[in-house]
Chain A
Amino acid sequence: MANDPQVNVQVGRLLRANTRACVAGCLPSQNFPPFGSLVSIDLGQEISAYGLVSDIHIDDDGLVRQLVTTPNISETVIQDNRVNRNVPVELSVLFVGHRSAGVISHRLPPRPPLSLDRVRACGEGDVCAFTSAGSLGYLRFILEAQDLPAADLLAAHLLQAGRAQRDHGDEQWFARAIDKVITQLRDDYVRLMPVLEALADVQRELGI
């Protein structure tokens, strides 16, 4: 992630995408954005797609599989594999909204990004702008996503966004977000309670 939390920094480039999600590749040596953080992809024509890092995938290959069997791997070999070898870290990104002509919408982007489009980690300003727009409708993308660890993805995202909002003066944002989550999941007790337990940890971490 960027050293300066206010600035959007390029973290990778697009490998593949569909209307709901995309996968970006970045070097293992890079400080890639953490799980749950907000990223944006410029689609051109004043449109940017927003998404959350929903999975970070590190592929193996034959060599790595062979190397892990050795008792002592020297640091230089580790660095070689991380820095030099052509095995990118894959970031799965779940789209949660877009910005079109300056207006943020919590709907899917009108089209997916294209190969090698730049993926940027959103700075705190962008995180606040996106999460404050509308009425948190984008949380549905997280809660409705199949085959994703929704509770942890939500917790990771709310930690990032809650911290940004708190630092920008809105201490109530986190409570509003939880309220929204409860609204969305209250008919599903079995799903809601683990989600809330995950969010309880976030609340403690945020200290609000």
Chain B
Amino acid sequence: MPLNYLGLQPQIQQYAQNANQSQAHFRQVLENARELFKTCASQPYDEIRKRCQGSGKRCALPLGEAFDQSYPPPAEHQPCMVLAADGSQIISSPHDAIPISLINTSLICMNTGSSDAPQISITSEILSEDRGGIEFNLLSEDLISLRRDVAELRILNDWTAPNDLPVAALRDGPLELYHEPRQGDQFEREFKNYIDGLAALAARDFTLAGYIDRTRAGLLGQMLAIYFEERSDGLAELRDTTLLAGILPAGQRSAIFALQSSSSDNYPEALRIHFFYLNVSTNDNDYIVRVEIPAWVAEDTDKVNRLHALLLAQCRIMGGRPYPYLLHRAHETAVVHFDEKAQLQDALAQELQRQGLDVPQPSNKLAAKGLQKRTRM
């Protein structure tokens, strides 16, 4: 029996009891937050920005748009090229016979003005440390993730435009790297690569966006908490999507905010991360997502409008569970399955053998896990 259900039972009851108690408090906080949000919107935005910047905390910074308003999508949506990039990785494990790491990046490109099937390209790359030596090839998960982010930008940059249509490029997840630069040359080098990637996309005038489907961010609550310091009880923990639910009608976006974070200063001005919220639902069941955009997009109304319309169109394709279709396809194309990992390991083992090298065995723990279940006669 995998779980001790008997022992869990009192804990389950306690969990529901706690949730019930916090619910009442939460409603109070939300009511307060919405009132403050409205009040705040009527305050001078410079003052708000000033206070927030002064705090140094991770929060939203209002720009020119009235942030208690919502913004409908443009009436017309011109054809464009939409790119979606996603990556997946194999993280090396010390238990593997050959502990390799791999990044698999996919790009899918759709011309919204055409009925042709989208084009797909995939780039697969085995990662290795400079030192070489297969069995020591253990890269940290963070570094691999960072390299994957870089690779995603690279595959977007490598794409050659077949026409003059404007290009929108989507990524799954935030544009802001939360794999912050840590110590070590590799991190710094990869971060620089990332910034360079962004700059290159900016140079190609792509409408770049990061799509965060289920954001837990409380950037607006934090902004309110900073501004209304004396009435900040619970505001910092309030999710933006909760705050905006009921304020942001289906299909409309919020005002655009700049993102203030600890890493903001590491991004050149033109590449600074901005964001808006978008209700991608088509009915009363609000589904609010966060869209991160670099400054060069945030400052260009056409690009913002194109992005707004495009994201809604992409989400509509997926019907009742709105999510950008191309992002799903990019993910589907990029994802590496377990058996594919096994095949890759087999191919590596064969090549090692062919070159006269010893093929290491997997760990006993991994071998035990791999024991087959019951087999058929």
Indicate yes or no for A touching B, C-beta below 8 A. Answer: yes
Residues of A at the B interface (CB closer than 8 Å) are 29, 63, 66-70, 73-77, 79-80, 82-85
Given A63-B328, A84-B120, A85-B332, also A79-B317 (CB < 8 A):
no
Docked CA distance A121–B320 (Å): 41
Chain A neighbourhood of B329, CB < 8 A: 80, 84-85
Is the beta-carbon distance between A69 and B319 smaller than 8 angstroms?
A: yes
Contacts of B238-271 to chain A: CB distance below 8 A: none
Given A63-B332, A76-B110, A77-B325, also A82-B117 (CB < 8 A):
yes
Is the beta-carbon distance between A67 and B319 smaller than 8 angstroms?
A: yes
A85 nearest CB across to chain B (Å): 7
Residues of B at the A interface (CB closer than 8 Å) are 108, 110-112, 114-118, 120, 316-321, 325, 328-329, 332-333
Is the beta-carbon distance between A75 and B320 smaller than 8 angstroms?
A: no
Docked CA distance A66–B319 (Å): 6
Q: Which residue of chain A has its CB nearest to the CB of B329? A: A80
Sample of 10 more A-B contacts, CB < 8 Å, known A63-B332, A76-B110, A85-B332: A66-B318, A66-B320, A74-B317, A76-B112, A76-B115, A79-B115, A82-B117, A84-B108, A84-B329, A84-B333
Q: Jot down 21 A-B pairs with beta carbons below 8 A, ordered by A.
A: A63-B328, A63-B332, A66-B318, A66-B320, A67-B318, A67-B319, A74-B115, A74-B317, A76-B111, A76-B112, A76-B114, A76-B115, A76-B118, A77-B317, A79-B118, A80-B108, A80-B118, A84-B118, A84-B120, A84-B329, A84-B333
Residue picked from A70, A74, A76, A79, most chain B C-beta under 10 Å: A76
Is the beta-carbon distance between A84 and B320 smaller than 8 angstroms?
A: no
4 closest cross-chain pairs (CB), A and B? A75-B115, A79-B117, A70-B319, A83-B117
Q: Which residue of chain B has its CB nearest to the CB of A76? A: B115
B121 nearest CB across to chain A (Å): 11
B122 nearest CB across to chain A (Å): 11
Docked CA distance A127–B118 (Å): 38
Is the beta-carbon distance between B117 and A84 smaller than 8 angstroms?
A: yes
Chain A neighbourhood of B333, CB < 8 A: 84
Docked CA distance A77–B112 (Å): 10
Chain B neighbourhood of A67, CB < 8 A: 317-319
Is the beta-carbon distance between A66 and B110 smaller than 8 angstroms?
A: no
Chain A neighbourhood of B114, CB < 8 A: 76
Chain A neighbourhood of B316, CB < 8 A: 70
Docked CA distance A80–B114 (Å): 12
Chain A neighbourhood of B120, CB < 8 A: 84
Is the beta-carbon distance between B117 and A76 smaller than 8 angstroms?
A: yes
A30 nearest CB across to chain B (Å): 13
Docked CA distance A71–B325 (Å): 15
Chain A neighbourhood of B118, CB < 8 A: 76, 79-80, 84
B263 nearest CB across to chain A (Å): 35
Chain A neighbourhood of B108, CB < 8 A: 80, 84
Docked CA distance A63–B318 (Å): 8
Docked CA distance A74–B332 (Å): 19
Chain B neighbourhood of A75, CB < 8 A: 115
Docked CA distance A134–B116 (Å): 48
Docked CA distance A47–B316 (Å): 52
B282 nearest CB across to chain A (Å): 10
Q: Which residue of chain B has its CB nearest to the CB of A83? A: B117
Chain A neighbourhood of B116, CB < 8 A: 76, 79
Q: Which residue of chain A has its CB nearest to the CB of B114? A: A76
Q: Which residue of chain A has its CB nearest to the CB of B321? A: A66
Docked CA distance A29–B117 (Å): 11
B322 nearest CB across to chain A (Å): 10
Docked CA distance A76–B319 (Å): 16
Docked CA distance A73–B108 (Å): 18
Chain B neighbourhood of A84, CB < 8 A: 108, 117-118, 120, 329, 333
Docked CA distance A132–B317 (Å): 52
Chain A neighbourhood of B318, CB < 8 A: 66-67, 70
A80: contacting residue among B110, B112, B319, B320, CB under 8 A:
B110
Docked CA distance A69–B321 (Å): 10
Chain B neighbourhood of A68, CB < 8 A: 319
A102 nearest CB across to chain B (Å): 38
A132 nearest CB across to chain B (Å): 42
Is the beta-carbon distance between A80 and B328 smaller than 8 angstroms?
A: no
A18 nearest CB across to chain B (Å): 15
Residue picked from B108, B111, B318, B325, most chain A C-beta under 10 Å: B325
A78 nearest CB across to chain B (Å): 8
Docked CA distance A88–B97 (Å): 33
A26 nearest CB across to chain B (Å): 16
Given A75-B115, A76-B114, A80-B118, also A70-B317 (CB < 8 A):
yes
A200 nearest CB across to chain B (Å): 41
A117 nearest CB across to chain B (Å): 20
A67 nearest CB across to chain B (Å): 7
Docked CA distance A68–B108 (Å): 21
Is the beta-carbon distance between B320 and A69 smaller than 8 angstroms?
A: yes
B212 nearest CB across to chain A (Å): 20
Docked CA distance A75–B112 (Å): 10
Q: Which residue of chain A has its CB nearest to the CB of B110? A: A76
Docked CA distance A17–B110 (Å): 38
B311 nearest CB across to chain A (Å): 15
